[in-house]
Homo-oligomer: A and B are copies of this chain.
Amino acid sequence: MATQRILDFLATRRPTGPCLVVDLDVVRDNFRAFEKALPDSRIYYAVKANPAPEILRLLAAMGSSFDTASVAEVEMAMDAGAPADRISFGNTIKKERDIARAYQLGIRLFAVDCVEEVEKIARVAPGARVFCRVLTDGEGAEWPLSRKFGCVPAMAVDVLRHAKGLGLDAYGVSFHVGSQQTDLTAWDRALADAKVVFATLAEEGIVLKMVNMGGGFPTRYLRDVPAAQAYGQAIFSALRKHFGNAIPETIIEPGRGMVGNAGVIKSEVVLISKKAANDNVRWVFLDIGKFGGLAETMDEAIRYPIVTAHDGTETAPCVLAGPTCDSADVMYEKTPYLLPLSLTIGDEVLIEGTGAYTTTYSAVAFNGFEPLRSYVI
Protein backbone atom coordinates (compact mmCIF):
# COMPACT_ATOMS: atom_id res chain seq x y z
CA MET A 1 0.00 0.00 0.00
CA ALA A 2 3.01 2.30 0.09
CA THR A 3 2.66 3.96 -3.31
CA GLN A 4 5.65 4.78 -5.47
CA ARG A 5 5.09 8.46 -4.69
CA ILE A 6 5.36 7.75 -0.97
CA LEU A 7 8.45 5.59 -1.44
CA ASP A 8 10.06 8.28 -3.61
CA PHE A 9 9.25 10.97 -1.03
CA LEU A 10 10.84 8.96 1.77
CA ALA A 11 13.88 8.09 -0.35
CA THR A 12 14.43 11.72 -1.39
CA ARG A 13 13.49 13.65 1.73
CA ARG A 14 14.81 11.16 4.32
CA PRO A 15 12.76 12.67 7.18
CA THR A 16 14.17 11.86 10.62
CA GLY A 17 11.92 10.45 13.32
CA PRO A 18 8.61 8.71 12.82
CA CYS A 19 6.26 10.33 10.32
CA LEU A 20 3.11 9.74 8.33
CA VAL A 21 3.12 10.26 4.56
CA VAL A 22 -0.26 10.52 2.83
CA ASP A 23 -0.66 10.18 -0.93
CA LEU A 24 -3.47 12.44 -2.18
CA ASP A 25 -3.81 10.38 -5.36
CA VAL A 26 -5.13 7.51 -3.25
CA VAL A 27 -7.60 9.80 -1.47
CA ARG A 28 -8.81 11.02 -4.87
CA ASP A 29 -9.29 7.43 -6.06
CA ASN A 30 -11.16 6.53 -2.88
CA PHE A 31 -13.53 9.48 -3.24
CA ARG A 32 -14.30 8.48 -6.82
CA ALA A 33 -14.84 4.86 -5.78
CA PHE A 34 -17.40 5.95 -3.17
CA GLU A 35 -19.12 8.22 -5.70
CA LYS A 36 -19.32 5.35 -8.14
CA ALA A 37 -20.43 2.75 -5.59
CA LEU A 38 -23.18 4.93 -4.11
CA PRO A 39 -24.06 7.46 -6.83
CA ASP A 40 -27.21 8.58 -5.05
CA SER A 41 -25.57 9.24 -1.67
CA ARG A 42 -23.86 12.43 -0.62
CA ILE A 43 -20.41 11.87 0.80
CA TYR A 44 -19.63 13.58 4.10
CA TYR A 45 -15.95 12.97 4.81
CA ALA A 46 -15.39 12.32 8.53
CA VAL A 47 -12.86 15.06 9.26
CA LYS A 48 -11.73 13.41 12.49
CA ALA A 49 -10.12 10.57 10.52
CA ASN A 50 -7.46 12.96 9.21
CA PRO A 51 -8.00 16.73 9.16
CA ALA A 52 -4.84 17.61 7.20
CA PRO A 53 -5.66 20.79 5.25
CA GLU A 54 -4.40 19.28 1.98
CA ILE A 55 -6.88 16.41 2.31
CA LEU A 56 -9.77 18.73 3.19
CA ARG A 57 -8.94 21.07 0.28
CA LEU A 58 -8.78 18.18 -2.19
CA LEU A 59 -12.12 16.76 -1.05
CA ALA A 60 -13.80 20.16 -0.90
CA ALA A 61 -12.71 20.80 -4.47
CA MET A 62 -14.07 17.39 -5.55
CA GLY A 63 -17.47 18.31 -4.13
CA SER A 64 -17.34 16.36 -0.90
CA SER A 65 -19.38 17.36 2.10
CA PHE A 66 -17.95 17.10 5.63
CA ASP A 67 -18.94 15.41 8.89
CA THR A 68 -17.45 17.37 11.79
CA ALA A 69 -17.06 16.66 15.49
CA SER A 70 -16.38 20.13 16.88
CA VAL A 71 -16.41 23.82 16.03
CA ALA A 72 -12.69 23.56 15.26
CA GLU A 73 -13.45 20.90 12.64
CA VAL A 74 -16.28 23.03 11.20
CA GLU A 75 -13.78 25.87 10.79
CA MET A 76 -11.18 23.58 9.23
CA ALA A 77 -13.70 22.39 6.65
CA MET A 78 -14.73 25.96 5.85
CA ASP A 79 -11.09 27.07 5.62
CA ALA A 80 -10.60 24.28 3.09
CA GLY A 81 -13.34 25.77 0.92
CA ALA A 82 -16.44 23.88 1.98
CA PRO A 83 -19.57 26.03 2.15
CA ALA A 84 -21.61 25.75 5.35
CA ASP A 85 -24.40 23.84 3.61
CA ARG A 86 -21.99 21.00 2.95
CA ILE A 87 -21.05 20.60 6.60
CA SER A 88 -22.80 18.47 9.21
CA PHE A 89 -22.13 18.88 12.94
CA GLY A 90 -22.22 15.14 13.52
CA ASN A 91 -21.23 14.90 17.18
CA THR A 92 -24.22 14.06 19.36
CA ILE A 93 -22.42 15.60 22.37
CA LYS A 94 -22.14 19.36 21.98
CA LYS A 95 -21.90 22.31 24.30
CA GLU A 96 -24.76 24.72 23.72
CA ARG A 97 -22.30 27.55 23.01
CA ASP A 98 -20.61 25.38 20.36
CA ILE A 99 -23.96 24.75 18.68
CA ALA A 100 -24.56 28.51 18.72
CA ARG A 101 -21.14 29.19 17.24
CA ALA A 102 -21.68 26.62 14.46
CA TYR A 103 -25.08 28.11 13.71
CA GLN A 104 -23.47 31.55 13.44
CA LEU A 105 -21.05 30.04 10.94
CA GLY A 106 -24.02 28.89 8.88
CA ILE A 107 -24.27 25.23 9.91
CA ARG A 108 -27.86 23.97 9.68
CA LEU A 109 -27.47 20.20 10.08
CA PHE A 110 -26.96 18.67 13.53
CA ALA A 111 -26.85 15.18 15.05
CA VAL A 112 -28.83 14.36 18.19
CA ASP A 113 -29.66 11.25 20.15
CA CYS A 114 -31.77 12.59 23.02
CA VAL A 115 -34.31 15.29 23.82
CA GLU A 116 -31.77 17.19 25.95
CA GLU A 117 -29.62 17.82 22.88
CA VAL A 118 -32.69 18.75 20.83
CA GLU A 119 -33.53 21.41 23.38
CA LYS A 120 -30.07 22.97 23.18
CA ILE A 121 -30.38 23.14 19.40
CA ALA A 122 -33.88 24.58 19.53
CA ARG A 123 -32.60 27.35 21.82
CA VAL A 124 -29.59 28.46 19.78
CA ALA A 125 -30.08 27.08 16.26
CA PRO A 126 -33.77 27.74 15.49
CA GLY A 127 -35.18 25.91 12.51
CA ALA A 128 -32.09 23.77 11.99
CA ARG A 129 -32.28 20.28 10.57
CA VAL A 130 -31.67 17.50 13.05
CA PHE A 131 -31.16 13.80 12.54
CA CYS A 132 -31.37 11.31 15.36
CA ARG A 133 -28.80 8.59 15.76
CA VAL A 134 -30.10 5.10 16.39
CA LEU A 135 -28.08 2.54 18.35
CA THR A 136 -26.71 -0.40 16.41
CA ASP A 137 -25.12 -3.54 17.76
CA GLY A 138 -21.72 -2.99 16.08
CA GLU A 139 -21.41 -6.71 15.35
CA GLY A 140 -18.77 -7.47 12.73
CA ALA A 141 -16.78 -4.28 13.34
CA GLU A 142 -13.06 -4.49 14.18
CA TRP A 143 -12.95 -1.22 16.12
CA PRO A 144 -15.68 -1.84 18.66
CA LEU A 145 -18.67 0.43 19.06
CA SER A 146 -19.89 0.95 22.58
CA ARG A 147 -23.41 2.09 23.34
CA LYS A 148 -22.04 5.64 23.56
CA PHE A 149 -23.92 7.07 20.57
CA GLY A 150 -27.54 6.76 19.64
CA CYS A 151 -30.74 5.65 21.28
CA VAL A 152 -33.16 2.83 20.67
CA PRO A 153 -35.50 3.34 17.67
CA ALA A 154 -38.55 3.89 19.90
CA MET A 155 -36.78 6.73 21.65
CA ALA A 156 -35.60 8.18 18.31
CA VAL A 157 -39.28 8.60 17.45
CA ASP A 158 -39.79 10.63 20.65
CA VAL A 159 -36.66 12.69 20.02
CA LEU A 160 -37.64 13.64 16.48
CA ARG A 161 -41.24 14.36 17.48
CA HIS A 162 -39.88 16.64 20.20
CA ALA A 163 -37.65 18.39 17.65
CA LYS A 164 -40.62 19.00 15.39
CA GLY A 165 -42.59 20.36 18.33
CA LEU A 166 -39.82 22.85 19.09
CA GLY A 167 -39.79 24.18 15.54
CA LEU A 168 -36.79 22.24 14.30
CA ASP A 169 -36.74 20.36 11.01
CA ALA A 170 -37.01 16.68 11.99
CA TYR A 171 -34.86 15.67 9.08
CA GLY A 172 -33.83 12.07 9.42
CA VAL A 173 -32.14 9.18 11.10
CA SER A 174 -28.51 8.18 11.34
CA PHE A 175 -26.69 5.09 12.40
CA HIS A 176 -23.15 3.80 12.43
CA VAL A 177 -22.48 0.13 11.92
CA GLY A 178 -19.07 0.23 13.61
CA SER A 179 -15.73 1.26 12.23
CA GLN A 180 -13.89 -1.13 9.92
CA GLN A 181 -17.13 -3.03 9.40
CA THR A 182 -16.64 -6.06 7.16
CA ASP A 183 -20.08 -7.63 7.50
CA LEU A 184 -22.21 -6.38 4.61
CA THR A 185 -25.46 -7.33 6.34
CA ALA A 186 -24.82 -4.80 9.14
CA TRP A 187 -26.26 -2.02 6.97
CA ASP A 188 -29.35 -4.11 6.26
CA ARG A 189 -30.10 -4.51 9.98
CA ALA A 190 -29.59 -0.81 10.65
CA LEU A 191 -31.72 0.27 7.69
CA ALA A 192 -34.55 -1.92 8.98
CA ASP A 193 -34.43 0.08 12.24
CA ALA A 194 -34.30 3.38 10.35
CA LYS A 195 -37.37 2.39 8.38
CA VAL A 196 -39.30 1.74 11.60
CA VAL A 197 -38.63 5.32 12.72
CA PHE A 198 -39.62 6.71 9.32
CA ALA A 199 -42.86 4.71 9.27
CA THR A 200 -43.89 5.48 12.85
CA LEU A 201 -43.43 9.22 12.41
CA ALA A 202 -45.11 9.20 8.99
CA GLU A 203 -48.27 7.95 10.69
CA GLU A 204 -48.19 11.17 12.74
CA GLY A 205 -47.63 13.30 9.67
CA ILE A 206 -43.93 13.85 10.30
CA VAL A 207 -42.12 13.05 7.07
CA LEU A 208 -38.41 12.36 7.50
CA LYS A 209 -36.27 12.96 4.44
CA MET A 210 -32.81 11.57 5.08
CA VAL A 211 -30.93 8.50 6.23
CA ASN A 212 -27.35 9.10 7.32
CA MET A 213 -25.69 5.71 6.94
CA GLY A 214 -22.53 6.82 8.74
CA GLY A 215 -19.10 5.38 8.16
CA GLY A 216 -17.66 2.01 8.92
CA PHE A 217 -16.32 1.38 5.42
CA PRO A 218 -13.15 -0.54 6.05
CA THR A 219 -9.66 -0.08 4.74
CA ARG A 220 -7.41 -3.01 4.00
CA TYR A 221 -5.09 -3.86 6.87
CA LEU A 222 -3.81 -7.41 7.03
CA ARG A 223 -6.94 -9.08 5.72
CA ASP A 224 -8.79 -8.46 2.49
CA VAL A 225 -11.98 -6.46 2.85
CA PRO A 226 -14.92 -6.06 0.47
CA ALA A 227 -14.44 -3.29 -2.08
CA ALA A 228 -16.53 -0.11 -2.12
CA GLN A 229 -18.49 -1.58 -5.01
CA ALA A 230 -19.65 -4.52 -2.89
CA TYR A 231 -20.75 -2.15 -0.13
CA GLY A 232 -22.61 -0.02 -2.59
CA GLN A 233 -24.57 -2.98 -3.90
CA ALA A 234 -25.38 -4.34 -0.44
CA ILE A 235 -26.50 -0.93 0.78
CA PHE A 236 -28.58 -0.21 -2.30
CA SER A 237 -30.30 -3.61 -2.00
CA ALA A 238 -31.08 -2.95 1.66
CA LEU A 239 -32.46 0.50 0.87
CA ARG A 240 -34.68 -0.95 -1.84
CA LYS A 241 -35.79 -3.78 0.45
CA HIS A 242 -36.79 -1.50 3.34
CA PHE A 243 -37.88 1.70 1.59
CA GLY A 244 -39.20 0.28 -1.68
CA ASN A 245 -39.79 3.04 -4.22
CA ALA A 246 -39.54 5.80 -1.61
CA ILE A 247 -35.82 5.71 -0.96
CA PRO A 248 -34.92 8.83 1.05
CA GLU A 249 -31.98 11.13 0.56
CA THR A 250 -28.91 9.30 1.84
CA ILE A 251 -25.60 10.36 3.30
CA ILE A 252 -22.44 8.36 3.97
CA GLU A 253 -19.58 9.45 6.23
CA PRO A 254 -16.44 7.58 5.25
CA GLY A 255 -13.29 8.41 7.21
CA ARG A 256 -11.07 5.36 7.44
CA GLY A 257 -12.38 4.18 4.06
CA MET A 258 -11.36 7.51 2.50
CA VAL A 259 -7.86 7.98 3.87
CA GLY A 260 -6.76 4.82 5.72
CA ASN A 261 -4.97 3.17 2.83
CA ALA A 262 -3.58 6.51 1.58
CA GLY A 263 -1.06 6.80 4.40
CA VAL A 264 2.08 5.03 5.52
CA ILE A 265 4.05 5.64 8.70
CA LYS A 266 7.83 5.40 8.48
CA SER A 267 9.31 4.18 11.72
CA GLU A 268 12.67 2.98 13.03
CA VAL A 269 13.55 -0.12 15.05
CA VAL A 270 14.99 1.25 18.30
CA LEU A 271 15.73 -2.02 20.06
CA ILE A 272 15.34 -5.78 19.66
CA SER A 273 15.89 -7.79 22.82
CA LYS A 274 14.75 -10.64 25.00
CA LYS A 275 13.69 -10.80 28.62
CA ALA A 276 15.61 -13.99 29.41
CA ALA A 277 18.36 -15.89 27.62
CA ASN A 278 16.00 -18.76 26.79
CA ASP A 279 13.00 -16.66 25.64
CA ASN A 280 11.77 -17.65 22.23
CA VAL A 281 9.86 -14.43 21.58
CA ARG A 282 11.81 -11.29 20.76
CA TRP A 283 10.66 -7.84 21.80
CA VAL A 284 10.83 -5.34 18.95
CA PHE A 285 10.62 -1.69 19.98
CA LEU A 286 9.73 0.95 17.38
CA ASP A 287 10.05 4.72 17.66
CA ILE A 288 6.25 5.01 17.48
CA GLY A 289 3.68 3.32 19.67
CA LYS A 290 0.29 3.58 21.23
CA PHE A 291 0.84 7.16 22.40
CA GLY A 292 2.64 8.39 19.28
CA GLY A 293 -0.24 7.81 16.87
CA LEU A 294 -1.02 4.09 16.92
CA ALA A 295 -3.78 4.41 19.54
CA GLU A 296 -5.99 2.06 17.56
CA THR A 297 -3.74 -0.85 18.54
CA MET A 298 -5.55 -0.53 21.90
CA ASP A 299 -6.65 -4.05 22.86
CA GLU A 300 -4.83 -5.09 19.67
CA ALA A 301 -7.93 -3.95 17.74
CA ILE A 302 -6.33 -2.76 14.53
CA ARG A 303 -3.50 -4.86 13.15
CA TYR A 304 -1.41 -2.88 10.71
CA PRO A 305 0.69 -4.47 7.98
CA ILE A 306 4.40 -3.78 8.50
CA VAL A 307 6.84 -3.80 5.61
CA THR A 308 10.56 -4.31 6.16
CA ALA A 309 13.57 -4.51 3.86
CA HIS A 310 13.90 -8.17 4.86
CA ASP A 311 10.45 -9.33 3.76
CA GLY A 312 10.52 -12.78 2.17
CA THR A 313 13.18 -14.08 4.57
CA GLU A 314 12.48 -16.30 7.56
CA THR A 315 10.16 -14.78 10.17
CA ALA A 316 9.50 -15.43 13.86
CA PRO A 317 6.93 -14.09 16.32
CA CYS A 318 7.75 -11.01 18.34
CA VAL A 319 6.08 -8.66 20.76
CA LEU A 320 5.81 -5.21 19.21
CA ALA A 321 6.07 -2.19 21.50
CA GLY A 322 6.51 1.57 21.43
CA PRO A 323 9.37 3.73 22.72
CA THR A 324 7.84 5.29 25.83
CA CYS A 325 8.45 4.47 29.49
CA ASP A 326 4.86 3.31 29.78
CA SER A 327 4.23 -0.37 30.23
CA ALA A 328 0.88 -0.02 28.46
CA ASP A 329 2.70 1.11 25.33
CA VAL A 330 2.73 -2.38 23.82
CA MET A 331 0.98 -2.86 20.49
CA TYR A 332 0.87 -6.58 19.83
CA GLU A 333 1.58 -9.08 22.57
CA LYS A 334 -1.38 -11.43 23.05
CA THR A 335 -1.15 -12.25 19.35
CA PRO A 336 2.56 -11.84 18.57
CA TYR A 337 3.54 -10.32 15.26
CA LEU A 338 5.60 -12.19 12.65
CA LEU A 339 8.66 -10.21 11.59
CA PRO A 340 11.86 -11.26 9.81
CA LEU A 341 14.55 -12.79 12.01
CA SER A 342 17.11 -10.63 10.22
CA LEU A 343 15.43 -7.39 11.32
CA THR A 344 18.08 -5.22 13.01
CA ILE A 345 18.25 -2.24 15.36
CA GLY A 346 18.25 0.92 13.25
CA ASP A 347 16.22 -0.60 10.39
CA GLU A 348 13.39 1.43 8.96
CA VAL A 349 9.95 -0.15 8.66
CA LEU A 350 6.77 1.01 6.96
CA ILE A 351 3.49 0.71 8.84
CA GLU A 352 0.79 0.63 6.19
CA GLY A 353 -2.85 1.66 6.23
CA THR A 354 -2.14 4.46 8.73
CA GLY A 355 -3.72 7.41 6.93
CA ALA A 356 -6.69 7.50 9.32
CA TYR A 357 -6.89 7.96 13.09
CA THR A 358 -3.16 8.39 13.73
CA THR A 359 -1.90 12.01 13.64
CA THR A 360 -4.67 13.47 15.78
CA TYR A 361 -4.72 10.63 18.32
CA SER A 362 -1.04 11.28 18.91
CA ALA A 363 -0.18 12.45 22.43
CA VAL A 364 0.95 16.04 22.59
CA ALA A 365 4.24 15.34 24.34
CA PHE A 366 4.18 12.03 26.20
CA ASN A 367 7.68 11.20 27.50
CA GLY A 368 8.89 14.32 25.72
CA PHE A 369 8.31 12.80 22.30
CA GLU A 370 6.85 15.24 19.80
CA PRO A 371 3.51 14.45 18.12
CA LEU A 372 3.53 12.44 14.91
CA ARG A 373 4.69 14.52 11.96
CA SER A 374 2.72 14.30 8.77
CA TYR A 375 3.49 14.98 5.12
CA VAL A 376 0.68 15.09 2.58
CA ILE A 377 1.95 14.72 -0.98
Which A residues are closer than 8 A to B by beta carbons? 46-48, 51, 68-73, 76, 90-96, 113-117, 120, 135, 138, 143-152, 154-155, 158, 179, 268, 270-277, 283, 285, 287, 291, 295, 298, 319, 321, 323-330, 333, 345-346, 359-371
CB distance from A67 to the nearest CB of B (A): 8
**Could you tell me if A116 and B325 are in contact, using CB atoms closer than 8 angstroms?**
no
Contacts of A113 in B (CB 8 A): 273
List 17 A–B pairs whose Cβ atoms lie within 8 Å, in order of A's numbering. A51-B365, A68-B368, A69-B324, A72-B368, A96-B346, A114-B273, A146-B328, A146-B330, A146-B333, A148-B329, A149-B327, A155-B274, A155-B276, A291-B295, A291-B361, A295-B363, A364-B371
How distant is the Cα of A250 from the Cα of B223 in the complex, in angstroms?
A: 50
Q: How far is the CA of A272 from the CA of B275 in the complex (A)?
A: 47
> B117, A271: Cβ atoms under 8 Å?
yes
Residue of A144, A275, A287 with most partner-chain B CB within 10 A: A275
Chain B positions within 8 Å of A90 at CB level: 325
Rounded to whole Å, the gap between the CB of A179 and the closest CB of chain B is 8
Per the bound structure, the CA–CA distance linking A23 and B367 in Å amounts to 22
Please name all residues of chain B whose beta carbon is closer than 8 Å to the beta carbon of A324 when the two chains form the complex: 48, 69, 91
Contact with A368, one of B69, B114, B155 (Cβ below 8 angstroms):
B69
Which chain B residues lie closer than 8 Å to A287 at the CB level? Answer: 95
| A327 CA to B150 CA, complexed, in Å | 11
Q: Verify A277–B155 contact, CB threshold 8 A.
A: yes
Counted per complex, copies of this chain come to: 2
Cross-chain contact A93 with B271 (CB below 8 angstroms) = yes
Asked whether A116 lies within 8 Å of B70 as measured between CB atoms, the reply is: no
Contact (A327, B48) CB under 8 Å given A73-B367, A368-B71: no
Q: Apart from A93-B321, A291-B361, A359-B364, what are 9 other A-B pairs with CB-CB below 8 Å?
A: A48-B326, A95-B270, A143-B328, A146-B333, A148-B329, A151-B274, A152-B275, A155-B275, A360-B366
- A114's partner among B70, B149, B274 (CB-CB below 8 A) is B274
A145 to chain B, nearest CB (A): 4
Contact B369 A70 (CB under 8 A): yes
User: Given the complex of chains A and B, what is the CA–CA distance between A69 and B125 in angstroms?
Assistant: 48
From known contacts A271-B93, A363-B362, infer whether A72 and B369 are also in contact, taking CB-CB under 8 Å.
Answer: yes
> In the complex the two chains form, what is the Cα distance from A274 to B90 in whole Å?
18
Q: Interface centre among A135, A277, A325, by most B CB within 10 Å?
A: A325
- CB pair A364–B363 under 8 Å, yes or no, is yes
CA distance A311 to B308 in the complex (A): 56
Structural contact, A276 and B93, CB atoms closer than 8 A: no
Q: Which residues of B contact A276 (CB under 8 A)?
A: 151-152, 154-155
Q: Which residue of B lies closest to A325 (CB)?
A: B69
B323 touches A91 (CB 8 A): yes
Verify B275–A116 contact, CB threshold 8 A.
no
Residues in B with CB closer than 8 Å to A46 are 325
Known: A275-B147, A361-B291. A70 touches B327 (CB 8 A): no
Q: Which 9 A-B pairs have the closest CB atoms?
A: A72-B368, A114-B273, A70-B368, A73-B368, A69-B367, A364-B371, A152-B276, A69-B325, A145-B327
A293 to B96, CA, bound (A): 22
Residues of B within 8 Å of A371, CB to CB, are: 364
| Alpha-carbon distance between A295 and B271 when the two chains are bound, in angstroms | 26
> Smallest CB–CB gap between A134 and chain B, Å?
10
